[in-house]
Amino acid sequence: MSVKITYFVHGTTTDNEKHLSSGWNDVELSELGIQQSKDLTTQTADKQFNAVFCSDLKRAVSSATITWGDKYPIIQDARLRECNYGDYNANPSDVVEPLQEQSITTPMPNGESYEMVKERIASFLSDLKRDYDGKHVAIVGHKAPQLALDVLLKRMTWEEAFATDWRKTKSWQDGWEYTLYNKVSVADENDNLIGAEYMIDAIRKGLIRRASRVYVFNTKGQLLVQQRSERVLKPLMLDQSAAGHVDEGETYEQAAYRELKEELGIDGVTLELVATSFRTSDFYNAIYKAKITDHTEIDFDPEELKQVIWYNISDLDKEMKESPDKFTPAFKEVWSMLRDKLIEHENK
């Protein structure tokens, strides 16, 4: 299982209105921030959470309490605080913001670096996975913790996280989605299982992970291609039918069936093994195919997928050649090496 996280930022503060960067300055919400928090109640009425976490700074506590205090437990955690700007807490934003991107590894004077923020967010995530596996939680926080989630859970570099930050791109939304996954199987250079790590740790350590990838064909020989949703890693890119990590304790085959069910809602089909211990850049993979009938119901997860597209093989080949950047690297890599084998199996 996994933990689904919806991240929210606190409402506007009196420091924000003075163009000050608060850091650990424990500032109050402004009247606008109070109204924004009230409005968020309506904007998130269709969402259900098992718990709401927030930083212990007043602006986050107030935002969470105004929005959901009569509906969910509000759990304060100091690890969710904004970056400590040290000597620059509550200083003009024109001064502080340029320093943020210079403080990824070097702490601000008497304050923190963004790597230090990342370490406390990683600690929070470890506890969250232990206590809320299979649950959906909300987090109300600040800029630095959200960027740390981008780095830890979406595999961005700090430079990418800063560059695409919604505050810079002016693209606020009522919640950002993240997923904290299970421990995943890791292997040695010969695909011998050597243990399991939380995905964020496996990525950080550069370990080889196991993955199962499924290619779904219909009776016309068309391949189902998924377009990833806007809320996941590699948003809106075209990808193989279903794929995912092999979780701790799973076989390649069990993971393949699980991913088919979770991503596409497909159950009760037979998988055919096309290749195993197939090495791509960060993974050893098992490649499967499945054939479904016109009556097979596809019920994809809108949090994971935007849509599914049935491609004729010739059209897929043409589009992948003409517009390669539309496709995920893993899809292109597997298809370039195993296309003929997949087609060969399809035509039997």
- 204 belongs to a structural domain: no
pLDDT in tens, 164-183: 999 888 888 889 999 888 78
Residue percentage of the chain with pLDDT more than 90 = 83
**Nearest-angstrom CA–CA distance, 156 and 6:** 18
Contact in structure between 286 and 271 (CB atoms under 8 Å): no
CATH number at residue 270: 3.90.79.10
Q: Are residues 138 and 61 in the same domain?
A: yes
- 97 belongs to a structural domain: yes
- 194 belongs to a structural domain: no
- 131 belongs to a structural domain: yes
Q: Are residues 141 and 222 in the same domain?
A: no
Structure tokens at 279: 């090495």
**Nearest-angstrom CA–CA distance, 249 and 103:** 40
Contact in structure between 149 and 79 (CB atoms under 8 Å): no
Query: pTM, whole model, 2 decimals?
Result: 0.63
Q: Are residues 121 and 13 in the same domain?
A: yes
DSSP category for residue 44: T
Structure tokens at 80: 């969710």
- Angle ∠(184,329,298) on CA atoms, nearest 5: 70
**Nearest-angstrom CA–CA distance, 213 and 199:** 17
Range of the domain at 331: 210-346
Handedness of CA 272, 275, 277, 282 (dihedral sign): negative
**Nearest-angstrom CA–CA distance, 154 and 169:** 18
**Nearest-angstrom CA–CA distance, 12 and 151:** 25
Q: Are residues 134 and 34 in the same domain?
A: yes
pLDDT bracket for residue 348 (50, 70, 90): very low
Q: Are residues 55 and 111 in the same domain?
A: yes
Q: What is the mean pLDDT of the chain?
A: 94
| Pick from 78-82, 107-111, 244-248: least confident | 244-248
CB neighbours of residue 268 within 10 Å: 9
Q: Is the pLDDT of residue 35 over 60?
A: yes
Q: Are residues 172 and 220 in the same domain?
A: no
Number of domains in the chain: 2
Q: Are residues 123 and 18 in the same domain?
A: yes
Closest CA to 214 of 314, 298, 325, 321: 298
Q: Are residues 22 and 154 in the same domain?
A: yes
Structure tokens at 191: 């695909």
pLDDT of residue 4: 92
pLDDT in tens, 179-236: 888 789 999 999 999 999 977 788 878 999 999 999 999 999 999 999 999 877 789 9
Structure tokens at 222: 């068309």
pLDDT in tens, 235-271: 999 999 999 999 999 999 999 999 999 899 999 999 9
Q: Are residues 161 and 25 in the same domain?
A: yes
CA distances from 54 to 82, 119, 205 (A): 11, 17, 29
Structure tokens at 188: 């040695």
Q: Are residues 154 and 221 in the same domain?
A: no
- Angle ∠(184,186,189) on CA atoms, nearest 5: 160
Q: How many residues does the chain have?
A: 348
Q: Are residues 161 and 255 in the same domain?
A: no
**Nearest-angstrom CA–CA distance, 168 and 153:** 20
Q: HSE-up of 15 (CA within 13 Å, CB side)?
A: 20
- 193 belongs to a structural domain: no
- 296 belongs to a structural domain: yes
Q: Which of 158, 180, 202 is the last residue of a domain?
A: 180
CATH number at residue 111: 3.40.50.1240
- 242 belongs to a structural domain: yes
**Nearest-angstrom CA–CA distance, 117 and 48:** 28
Q: Which of 138, 163, 180 is the last residue of a domain?
A: 180
Contact in structure between 129 and 3 (CB atoms under 8 Å): yes
- 61 belongs to a structural domain: yes
Q: Are residues 270 and 340 in the same domain?
A: yes
